[in-house]
Amino acid sequence: MPAETSNASSRRLSISLQSAVLLILLGFLIWNSFSIGSASLYTTYGERTARLDAIDFAIRLNAKDPEAHYARSSILVNDDAATANSECTKSVALRPRDYIFWLGLAQTRERNSDLSGAVAAATEAVRLAPSYSQPHWRMGNLLVRAGRFDEGFSELRLAGAADRTLWPSIIDLAWHLSQEDAEFVKRAVQPNTDEARMALSDYFRAHGQFSEAADAINGAGAAAAEYRGRLLNELITKKRFAEAYELWALTHAGGPKNAVFDSSFEQGSNFNEPGFGWRVGTSPRVAVAADNQTAAEGKGSLKLEFNGEPDSNLVLLSQLVMVEPNARYTLRFASRSDKLVSGGLPVLRVMNASSGTLLGESALPQQTSEWVNYAIDLSTPADVSTIEIRLQRQNCTTGPCPIFGVLWLDNFSLQKR
């Protein structure tokens, strides 16, 4: 009996000791979890509200929390750069594989005029996260501020490649740094993706460098088609015809410069596309289409079917054509009509595309059962690089002024005399 009693009491003692150890361990774990969790909570709160006391309390709860030291550094960076640097150094020491902390350290070191240290920290951030944009972006800017432009823009190009939204900032930096030198900007950016080319072109466009804008979009692929169309429209609206033509010609091979594009309407032109091809005015009462049944020469022509269009000012058909200034040209074309009835019959005009002044015209008759050839002689003024061929209607003396019937056009050519 006494032996059994002794065994039982020693077992109880053992259980009690084990329980005490477990309780202490549990208490330690609870406290640890509580302090880590609370420190994290206070850090988040301090970051959001920029309250240093909350961050300090977080550090008291868990001095080994790198986030808390980093948050303290971020808050102090403007007012106490030295302490901010020391806090960031602690966060890097506590979690050396986090590129964010290295970037923070680069920033605080720069604030403390330790440029080489800042570059070293940013280099480590780049090494840890080579595919991310931010390390390259920060490193690039740091190097540019240090006057190391080639290395800086090399890093910034990597940043732009990783995040295309950075391109406008990179281009803007190069533009202002070089005091608006487009050549320097091109060298700094070296665009080799559609995104970079579009960003560069758009920047030049926004800064009135239209020739550079057209040049920058040169090598871009199909992804830039929409942008190219918008730029082309803007260039034509601003009467920058030479740049517009260069841009348009990139995607419209064939036909020498200064010639009418798709002169026989056999290339399947898109009549709504901006540029130097045929364009038609939109009206529900005029049907315009290529006609493969009727032709003055070749396989087809353009057929305009009028069904009571009342607006005599509507430009029915037009094309911009590049010409030489101070030169004499003859525009030839063929036309055929069927039962055209109107107080304002069609007329083909050649206009100065810059000023809108008339350079020559030829009225088209009501009825010609056969194709008739026409020729308009014109001289280009000294300041003209572009003319516009326009099919319109003659002014009506009374309104409304509807037009009915069919008109065919074919075989345009512009020849220098």
Does 35 help bind other proteins (rule: CB under 8 A)?
no
Does 40 help bind other proteins (rule: CB under 8 A)?
no
> Could you tell me the smallest distance in angstroms from the CB atom of residue 287 to other proteins?
45
Does 196 help bind other proteins (rule: CB under 8 A)?
no
> Could you tell me the smallest distance in angstroms from the CB atom of residue 181 to other proteins?
5
Are 276 and 245 in contact by the 8 Å Cβ rule? The answer is yes
> Could you tell me the smallest distance in angstroms from the CB atom of residue 151 to other proteins?
13
Between 130 and 308, CB nearer to other proteins: 130
- Give CA–CA dist 417/408, Å, rounded: 26
Q: Which has the closest alpha carbon to 280: 305, 298, 252?
A: 305
Q: Which has the closest alpha carbon to 317: 342, 349, 339, 343?
A: 349
Q: Of 13-21, 86-94, 139-147, 299-307, which part binds other proteins (CB under 8 A)?
A: 139-147
Between 111 and 285, CB nearer to other proteins: 111
- Give CA–CA dist 326/195, Å, rounded: 41
Does 61 help bind other proteins (rule: CB under 8 A)?
no
> Could you tell me the smallest distance in angstroms from the CB atom of residue 116 to other proteins?
15
CA torsion sign for 18, 24, 30, 36 is negative
Where are the extended beta strands (E) located within 301-402?
301-307, 317-322, 328-342, 346-352, 358-363, 368-379, 386-393
In the region spanning residues 281 to 320, those forming contacts with other proteins, defined by CB under 8 A, are: none
Does 181 help bind other proteins (rule: CB under 8 A)?
yes
Give the helix/strand (H/E) hosting 34.
helix 2-49
- Binding residue for other proteins, selected from 88, 166, 224, 331, defined by CB under 8 A: 166
> Could you tell me the smallest distance in angstroms from the CB atom of residue 175 to other proteins?
8
Does 138 help bind other proteins (rule: CB under 8 A)?
yes
> Could you tell me the smallest distance in angstroms from the CB atom of residue 49 to other proteins?
4
Does 176 help bind other proteins (rule: CB under 8 A)?
yes
Q: Which has the closest alpha carbon to 198: 176, 174, 227?
A: 227
Runs of H (alpha helix) within 163-296: 167-177, 182-189, 194-206, 210-216, 225-237, 241-249
In the region spanning residues 85 to 104, those forming contacts with other proteins, defined by CB under 8 A, are: 103
Does 78 help bind other proteins (rule: CB under 8 A)?
yes
- Give CA–CA dist 81/139, Å, rounded: 19
Does 371 help bind other proteins (rule: CB under 8 A)?
no
Q: Of 18-26, 87-95, 163-171, 261-269, which part binds other proteins (CB under 8 A)?
A: 163-171
Does 144 help bind other proteins (rule: CB under 8 A)?
yes
Between 103 and 247, CB nearer to other proteins: 103
Angle between helices 182-189 and 149-162 (to 10 degrees): 60
Side-chain-side CA neighbours of 355 within 13 Å: the count stands at 10
> Could you tell me the smallest distance in angstroms from the CB atom of residue 323 to other proteins?
35
Query: 410 forms bridges with which residues in the sheet?
Result: 334
> Could you tell me the smallest distance in angstroms from the CB atom of residue 104 to other proteins?
11
Does 116 help bind other proteins (rule: CB under 8 A)?
no
Q: Of 168-176, 297-305, 313-321, 347-355, which part binds other proteins (CB under 8 A)?
A: 168-176
Does 276 help bind other proteins (rule: CB under 8 A)?
no
Size of the site for other proteins (CB under 8 A): 37
Question: Taking the mean position of all CA atoms in its chain, how far away is CA 312?
Answer: 39
Q: 3-class SS at 331?
A: strand
Q: Which has the closest alpha carbon to 118: 156, 85, 79?
A: 85
Are 35 and 62 in contact by the 8 Å Cβ rule? The answer is yes
The interface mask with other proteins, positions 201-230, x = CB under 8 A, is -----x------------------------
Q: Which has the closest alpha carbon to 243: 218, 270, 272, 279?
A: 218
322 φ, ψ (degrees, to nearest 5): -75, 135
Chain residues binding other proteins by CB under 8 A are 41, 45, 48-51, 54, 77-78, 103, 107, 110-111, 113, 134, 137-138, 141, 144-147, 149, 165-166, 168-169, 172-173, 176-179, 181, 183-184, 206
